Chains A and B, each alone.
Chain A
Amino acid sequence: MILCDSNVYKSIQEKFILAQPGDTIYLPKGKVNIERSLWGDNLNNVMILGYGIDSTILSFDNQIEGAEGIKIINSSNVTLKNFTIENSKGDLIKVEDTNGINFINIKAQWTGGPLEINGSYALYPVKSKNVLIDSCIAIGASDAGIYVGQSENIIVKNSEAFYNVAGIEIENSIFADVFNNYAHDNSGGILIFDLPDLLVKRGGDVRVFNNRVINNNISNFAPEGNIVAKVPAGTGIMILATSNVEIFDNYISNNKTANTSIVSYFITEEEISDSLYYPYPTSIYLYDNSYYRDKQFPSFSFKQPIGFLLAYNFWRNVPDIIYDGITDTNIIQNNFVKDEYRICIKNNKNADFVNLDLGNNFNNMSQDLAPYDCIHEKIKKVKYPFEK
């Protein structure tokens, strides 16, 4: 049974407005159509609770207003739990300027498959502190399924992302643990990005471990103009211009263009005018991961031409770990990168490697791993004050 329309909106929105600290807002059972964005503001210690994934479905198929399904701003310790939310016109759940936001057992999806007309982000905490995403499913985002931007102290775990352009993306954020997730059938599985011209200048201290990152080969359907539109289909884990990243114990398989890539912002070919922005990936530690790759061509697209270059050089045997080789000259001492800034690649099972030397037109392309045989101090575990 589908309950109708403005009355459902009204009754849930009213609860969002009147909620007091300690309250639980119960979402109705079954599928309900909601035509306007639900807004929470200044919610403190509030839970928004459904009857379970697919038992409570908030559908925004007929949305007439609002750039997201649910928007929560200026709040603290809010928990969203046990429901499905789908087909909003913009993002599904956006959370802004909030300290303590827990997404638990949420399915956030566009139900028509990977389509460009889908909204941008399924789960979208931004400018927030203490973010937990646990046991969630994100499907069909035309940008990123699980997207954490300009935030601090983050856990993304036990979640699944597929049919998105980016499965999971951590952008300009610091202190993040991304583990026990399953990212498959996206264009890119897990992305760790730092971008210029933002208030939060430098992300980092990110750990990505125990994830399965498999078959992220669907063609990139992001509208051009967005940074993820530049991600080549067939990307497993990608580190873009982020420092202090530790990637270990992952199973990374059959992402046909690059099971793992480590690149500078220069590959975007965008001009950098932000003097406080640092475009290089440094202090990267990639170890103990398991790789697999069938002999196959990388993805070919004129929008992300790297596939042609890789096929030209490697045919169907594209290396698993790809580094663009563009290095900050300021961190080089006596011809070597200073220890604390090195890219360390060690003890990965079944992995081969290439430094493309993109800065010099592939002139000194090298598959020698010896220069990357080093270790970094391990990054500390994220401590989460609101964990349920």
Chain B
Amino acid sequence: MINKLFFVIILVFSSILFSSFNFNQKISDYNIYEGDPRNLITTSNYFEYEIKTPLFTDYAYKHRAIYIPSNKKILYQEREVLDFPIGTIISKTFYYPENFNDIDSKINLKETRILIHDVNGWIGLPYIWNNEQTEAYLEITGGTKKTSWTDIDNNRQSINYIIPNMNQCKGCHVNSGKLKPIGPTARQLNMDFKGLGNQLLIWHNKGIIDNLPDYNLLPEIAKWDDSDTYSVNDRARAWLDINCAHCHNKNGSANNTGLYLDIYEEDLKSIGINKTPVAAGRGSGHLKYDIVPGNPDKSILVYRFESTDPGIMMPELGRTMIHKEGLELIREWIRNLD
């Protein structure tokens, strides 16, 4: 009896150990990039894609690609992230062009984050690129990388770029206790891809997505920096949706705060308007309300976006810099609220 129990325990342990060490140690094992990875050309196994309003990550550029196992399909979802089949791999490579004003300048690859849809759920893995830029290696504890570039105003920028650890990946990606992708929702993917047509229609034509509704029924999020097409309100809500709502939604890890910033939230107080903070601590900055309509300088949201102190700033992870343009958008939005 005891022997049997022991055997079962060993079996359970070894299967757990096996699964946690069974991950690819190198990014090249995924066969995402064709040739020199700095060219960011995907192999035919992957579909490159873009999203409309991305998360701010210290001005890093991102290259996104997805692998869908053959004969399997994505199931369309209107609001939630799309329902990806088991075996899906989503890859996001973070990089900095040497000069943001020169698209053809040399690029520096920093990290590639991989999401794998395993039978037991999603797994998030961080890979860090080597200095030679030839390979990225799995680093479950993340890391830091000195990073510099010339920004769009021709200023030289230099930061200690922080790569999250494996558990922190989950910190953002967890919803109702389960890890999930954040970006690839229908509203974010509903956009033109490199002049080739609407991404969702391209996916539909390639036969990798099911149940796609009529084109004009597809939900759409505003592009946060396209002021010609979208209103300040729509752009601000889009920016909050992608930068905050992965935690600040009713099922997210910050649901203890009562502050819900997802694009579907309609209750004004839940969005933060005249709402007192719950557990902001010194993050309140002596201010009484999350958002004071008409007064960005009295709004805790602005105070926390404007900080780079780890004990004050929001989002808590993924940036060491202030997103100046995003902050200006939120300021403008709050100024116009009444």
A binds B: yes
- Chain B residues whose C-beta falls within 8 Å of the C-beta of A96 in the assembled complex: 253, 256
| CA A119 to CA B269, docked complex, whole Å | 26
Is residue B167 contacting chain A, with contact meaning CB distance below 8 A?
Answer: yes
- Chain A residues whose C-beta falls within 8 Å of the C-beta of B250 in the assembled complex: 199
Stretch at the interface among A9-17, A206-214, A231-239, A309-317: A9-17
Is residue B282 contacting chain A, with contact meaning CB distance below 8 A?
Answer: yes
Known: A41-B170, A150-B256. A14 touches B281 (CB 8 A): no
- Chain B residues whose C-beta falls within 8 Å of the C-beta of A9 in the assembled complex: 141
Is residue A374 contacting chain B, with contact meaning CB distance below 8 A?
Answer: no
| CA A382 to CA B290, docked complex, whole Å | 36
Closest CB of chain B to A147's CB: distance in Å? 8
A18–B20 contact, CB under 8 A? yes
B275–A39 contact, CB under 8 A? no
**Which residue in A17, A89, A225, A273 is a CB contact (below 8 Å) of B166?**
A17
- Chain B residues whose C-beta falls within 8 Å of the C-beta of A226 in the assembled complex: 277, 280-281, 284
- Chain B residues whose C-beta falls within 8 Å of the C-beta of A14 in the assembled complex: 140-141
A17–B310 contact, CB under 8 A? no
Q: Which label, helix, strand, loop or mixed, suits the secondary structure of the A interface? A: loop
- Chain B residues whose C-beta falls within 8 Å of the C-beta of A119 in the assembled complex: 281-282, 311
Is residue B279 contacting chain A, with contact meaning CB distance below 8 A?
Answer: yes
**Which residue in A67, A118, A197 is a CB contact (below 8 Å) of B269?**
A197
Closest to B275 in A: A197
- Chain B residues whose C-beta falls within 8 Å of the C-beta of A40 in the assembled complex: 167
| CA A14 to CA B285, docked complex, whole Å | 34
- Chain B residues whose C-beta falls within 8 Å of the C-beta of A195 in the assembled complex: 278
Is residue A249 contacting chain B, with contact meaning CB distance below 8 A?
Answer: no
| CA A223 to CA B160, docked complex, whole Å | 30
Stretch at the interface among A51-59, A120-128, A180-188, A358-366: A120-128
**Which residue in A20, A37, A225 is a CB contact (below 8 Å) of B13?**
A20
| CA A39 to CA B275, docked complex, whole Å | 30
Is residue A267 contacting chain B, with contact meaning CB distance below 8 A?
Answer: no
Is residue B286 contacting chain A, with contact meaning CB distance below 8 A?
Answer: yes
| CA A226 to CA B287, docked complex, whole Å | 9
- Chain B residues whose C-beta falls within 8 Å of the C-beta of A20 in the assembled complex: 13, 16-17
| CA A19 to CA B269, docked complex, whole Å | 41
- Mask: chain A, 54-96; 1 = CB below 8 Å from B; 0 = not: 0000000001111100010110000000000000111100001
B287–A224 contact, CB under 8 A? yes
Closest CB of chain B to A99's CB: distance in Å? 11
Q: List 9 A-B contacts (CB under 8 A).
A: A10-B141, A65-B320, A67-B317, A74-B177, A90-B283, A116-B282, A142-B282, A198-B256, A225-B300
Could you tell me which A residues sit within 8 Å of B by CB distance? 6, 9-10, 13-14, 16-18, 20, 36-37, 39-42, 63-67, 71, 73-74, 88-91, 96-97, 116-121, 124, 126-127, 142-143, 147, 149-150, 195, 197-199, 222-227, 270-271, 273-274
In the A-B complex, the 3 residue pairs with the closest CB atoms? A120-B281, A225-B284, A89-B311
Could you tell me which B residues sit within 8 Å of A by CB distance? 13, 16-17, 20, 140-142, 144, 160, 162, 165-168, 170-171, 174, 177, 250, 253, 255-256, 258, 269-270, 274-289, 300, 309-312, 316-317, 320
